[in-house]
Amino acid sequence: MSKTWYAILTTYMILFFATGYINFFSNNYFAKTPENVAQITRDYDSPKKMNWVAELLLEDAQTYQDENNIASQSFNIVLGSIVSFLSATVKQKQ
């Protein structure tokens, strides 16, 4: 195998682990549950401030969900790229 082959495979593996980490381990479960939102906002004295904080937390949870959806799609694309790269390598060797 050439240095170029190893460089391409290393790049794919870095992308694979980065998108896998974002997809499977970098989730904001804390802000997503209504119980945690209620517990956080309970300590604020005015209802206006409480509603504002709750709105920000829900917006943050939606942002993390959108990020997770993009990471999931990217993970699948990188996984497909790795498989096609390796199958092309096997086919070339035959």
Q: What is the pLDDT of residues 37-54, one digit of tens each?
A: 666 666 666 777 777 777
23: pLDDT strictly greater than 70: yes
Mean pLDDT confidence for 48-77: 81
Rounded to two decimals, what is the model's pTM? 0.60
Write the DSSP symbol of residue 46: S
At 72, is the pLDDT very low, low, confident or very high (cuts 50, 70, 90)?
confident
Name the residue with higher pLDDT: 84 or 22.
84
- Beta carbons of 71 and 23 less than 8 angstroms apart: yes
Per-residue pLDDT at 44 = 66
* Domain carrying residue 7: 3-93
Mean pLDDT confidence for 48-73: 80
- Beta carbons of 26 and 63 less than 8 angstroms apart: no
